[in-house]
Amino acid sequence: MKFEPEELAANANPVVIQAIQEGQEQAEWRPLFRHPCHFGPDIFGGVMSNLIHNPNINSSWLFRADILHDAPDPQANSTLPIPIPSFRGFELRRCILRRLIPRNTRRDKPLDQTCLIFEAASSHSKDDSQTLVVYLPHVSAPSDMPFYHPVVRGIAFLHEWNPAKYCGFISISYLYFSDYDNSELKLSRTAFRLLEVIHKHGKGRLAGYQKRVLHDQVVPQARAQDTYHRLKLQYARGLIDGWAESTDPEKHVFEDLSIAAFLIELWADMYGKDLFPGFVDIGCGNGLLVYILNKEGYAGWGFDARSRKSWANYNTKLQTPFGEQDTLQQKVMLPPPVSREGLTDISDDLLDESLIHDGRFPKDTFIISNHADELTPWTPIVAAISQCPFMAIPCCSHNLTGDRFRAPAPKEKGKAESAYSSLVAWVAGIAKDCGWEVEQEVLRIPSTRNIALIGRRQSKQDTPVDFNAVVNKYGGAAGYWNNVAKLIAAARTTDEPDEHEHSNGA
C-alpha cells in the first residue's frame, strides 16, 4: 500500500479529546493526516517503542534518546516535571521520560520530552481497539523549542484497529501553541513525514522484516557518541581547514573522529586505569587517526607503504624504550609466515630493508587495521603471533597474497551474500582459526564499509595454533613477497600516494 494519507481539513473533528482538568485550559488537538493500515496494535506498539528509543530515525539532527524514566504504573508519575493529561475513552498504560540528544549542542540544546502510551478504556467495544501515543515536549513557549522538533506543544499518534476486518487507521494530531503561526508549511510536512515513517515501519514488520544491522554491541551508544561529540567540537574545524589531501576532508575527518571515539571507549573498558600498552595502525593512510589518538594521550604509531602530504602536519615524535621515533613511518609489512622465495623482476639494489617491517609487535600492543586492504586478512594472524589485541575494519577485498579477490559467500544460513559481508565473514573465519574470540560491531561512521572485527581475547587451545596451516587453509601466501617487493621498488622511485586514501603497508 502506497503512503497517500488523507489530509484532514482545518475544521475536522478531533480524533483525540483531552479531558479538561482543574486549573487547565481546554487543549484542542488538531488532526492533520489519516491513513489506512493493515498492521495491528502489537506491531504499532513495537514500532512506536522503537521510535521513542531511537528518535534519530525521524531526525538526522539527533544522536539518540536517553531514557530517564519508564514506568507502567500510572501512580509512579507523580514525580514527573509536567502534569500528565488524560484523554477521553483512554487509560494510561505507560509513561516514558526521554531526553533528546542533538548532534550539535552548539546550535541546539537537549530536549526533555514525556511520551505517554494509552489504550482504549474497557468500556469501548470489544470488536475494536485503539492505541494512543502522545509526545509532550517540556517547553513553555515556541521560542524555547529546538530546531529539530516541530514547534508544537504536543504530538499524538492514534492507531485504530478492527480485528474482524483486519484493518485500521493511523493518524497524527498536533497540539498547537496559541501564539505561533500554525499554518507554517514545515509543520504539515513534518507531520506527513512522521506518519509516513510509522506506516513504513509497520508495513515492514507485517511483512516479517527483522533488523539485521545491530549497533552498539561492544561499546554503549551514549558513551561513543558523547566522546565523538567532544572530539568533533575540539578538532573537526581545524582539521578540515588544514586538510592537505585531495580527498573529501569532511568525510575523512568525521569518520576518523568517530573511529577514534569508539577506540577510546573500547580501551576504557579494556584497560581502565591501567597503563595503556600502546597501539600501531598498520596501513595508516593519511595518518589522521594516529594523530587524533596521540593528541588524546594514547601513545602509538602507524606505517604505510606510501607517505602522504598530510604527514607533515600529523607526524610527531614517540618516546620508546629504543629511543625517539616518528609516529608516522613509510614501511611495508612482511608477516612471519611469508617466505622470501620466488622473487622475480626486482633487482636487489631496489630492496631497501629499512622499509620492511617483520610483522612482529611488542606483546599487548593494540593493532588497528582501518581499511588496510591487503593487510586486512593478515591482521588477526600477526596479532595472534605477537599476542596483541586488534580491531580490523575491512574495506577492499584482498587475499593473503595481496591480490584482489572475492571472498566466498558465508556458509551460515541467513547470512547476506554481498561482497562486503562475504569479506567480513572470511576475515572473521581467519581470526577464529587463529584462536580469537571475535566480536563484531557496526560502527556509526559515514562509510558503507563500517563493520569492525575485534579480537580482545583468545580462546583456550589444547595445542598451539599452526599459523602456516591457517595461511594454507585460506589460499596460501605465494606471491605476497613479490607484491611487497614491488611496493618497495615503487617507493624508491616515486613519492606519489595511491589513489585509495587508505592504501596500506603491504
pLDDT reading at 242 higher than 70: yes
Q: How confident is the model at residue 76 (pLDDT cuts 50, 70, 90)?
A: low
CA distances from 305 to 119, 185, 350, 502 (A): 63, 55, 15, 10
Across the chain, what does the average pLDDT equal? 90
Answer for the pair 171, 15: CB distance below 8 angstroms, yes or no. Answer: yes
CA distances from 46 to 65, 73, 401 (A): 16, 19, 48
Would you say the C-alpha torsion 360, 361, 362, 363 has a positive or negative sign? negative
- Rg, Å, the chain Cα set: 28
Q: Which three cell numbers stand for residue 362?
A: 611488542
| Plot region of 226 (φ>0 → left; ψ -120 to 50 → alpha; else → beta) | alpha
Answer for the pair 49, 42: CB distance below 8 angstroms, yes or no. Answer: no
Answer for the pair 431, 453: CB distance below 8 angstroms, yes or no. Answer: yes
Minimum mean pLDDT range among 43-47, 163-167, 283-287, 349-353:
349-353
- Considering only residues 211 and 446, tell me which one the structure prediction assigns the higher pLDDT: 446
pLDDT reading at 189 higher than 70: yes
Q: What's the average model confidence in pLDDT over 448-453?
A: 94
Which fold is adopted by the domain 6-206? Alpha-D-Glucose-1,6-Bisphosphate; Chain A, domain 4 (3.30.530)
pLDDT reading at 175 higher than 70: yes
Polymer length of the chain: 506
- State the greatest distance between any 2 C-alpha atoms of the chain, in Å, as a whole number: 93
pLDDT reading at 9 higher than 80: yes
Answer for the pair 161, 40: CB distance below 8 angstroms, yes or no. Answer: yes
Question: Looking at residue 106, what is its pLDDT?
Answer: 85
Phi then psi for residue 438, to 5 deg, are -85, 125
Per-residue model confidence as pLDDT tens digits over 106-154:
888 999 999 999 999 864 455 689 999 999 999 999 999 999 999 999 9
Answer for the pair 166, 38: CB distance below 8 angstroms, yes or no. Answer: yes
Q: Note the pTM of the prediction, 2 decimals.
A: 0.85
Question: Looking at residue 500, what is its pLDDT?
Answer: 45
Q: What's the average model confidence in pLDDT over 240-257?
A: 95
User: Cell 492507531 belongs to which residue?
Assistant: 159
Per-residue model confidence as pLDDT tens digits over 22-38:
666 778 999 999 999 99
Per-residue model confidence as pLDDT tens digits over 301-359:
999 999 999 999 999 999 877 679 999 999 999 999 998 876 666 666 667 888 999 99
Q: What's the average model confidence in pLDDT over 192-208?
A: 95
Q: In the chain, where does the domain assigned CATH 3.30.530 lie?
A: 6-206
Question: Looking at residue 126, what is its pLDDT?
Answer: 56
Question: Looking at residue 320, what is its pLDDT?
Answer: 76
Question: Looking at residue 16, what is its pLDDT?
Answer: 95
Kindly state the percentage of the chain with pLDDT values over 90: 74
User: Cell 515492514 belongs to which residue?
Assistant: 204
Measured from the Cβ of residue 25, the count of other Cβ atoms closer than 10 Å reads: 8
Question: Looking at residue 494, what is its pLDDT?
Answer: 54
CATH of 275-493, one of 1.10.3470, 2.30.130, 1.10.357, 3.40.50: 3.40.50
Sheet holding 167-175, edge to edge: 6-7, 29-37, 167-175, 154-162, 129-137, 111-120, 90-102, 62-71
Measured from the Cβ of residue 422, the count of other Cβ atoms closer than 10 Å reads: 18
Q: Which three cell numbers stand for residue 320?
A: 620508546
pLDDT reading at 495 higher than 80: no
Q: How confident is the model at residue 506 (pLDDT cuts 50, 70, 90)?
A: very low
Q: In the chain, where does the domain assigned CATH 3.40.50 lie?
A: 275-493
Q: How confident is the model at residue 245 (pLDDT cuts 50, 70, 90)?
A: very high
Per-residue model confidence as pLDDT tens digits over 261-303:
999 999 999 999 899 999 999 999 999 999 999 999 999 999 9
Residue of 335, 341, 334, 337 lying closest to 472 (CA atoms): 337
pLDDT reading at 497 higher than 80: no
Q: Which three cell numbers stand for residue 207?
A: 511483512
DSSP line for 431-442: HHHTTEEEEEEE
Q: What's the average model confidence in pLDDT over 238-263?
A: 96
Per-residue model confidence as pLDDT tens digits over 390-437:
999 999 999 999 999 999 988 776 666 789 999 999 999 999 999 999
The helix (run of H) or strand (run of E) holding residue 194 is helix 185-206
| Plot region of 89 (φ>0 → left; ψ -120 to 50 → alpha; else → beta) | left
pLDDT reading at 73 higher than 70: no
Question: Looking at residue 380, what is its pLDDT?
Answer: 98
Question: Looking at residue 127, what is its pLDDT?
Answer: 67
Torsion of CA 70, 75, 76, 78, to 10 degrees: 120
Residue 195's SS3 state is helix
Q: How confident is the model at residue 44 (pLDDT cuts 50, 70, 90)?
A: very high
CA distances from 441 to 164, 412, 444, 455 (A): 44, 18, 9, 11
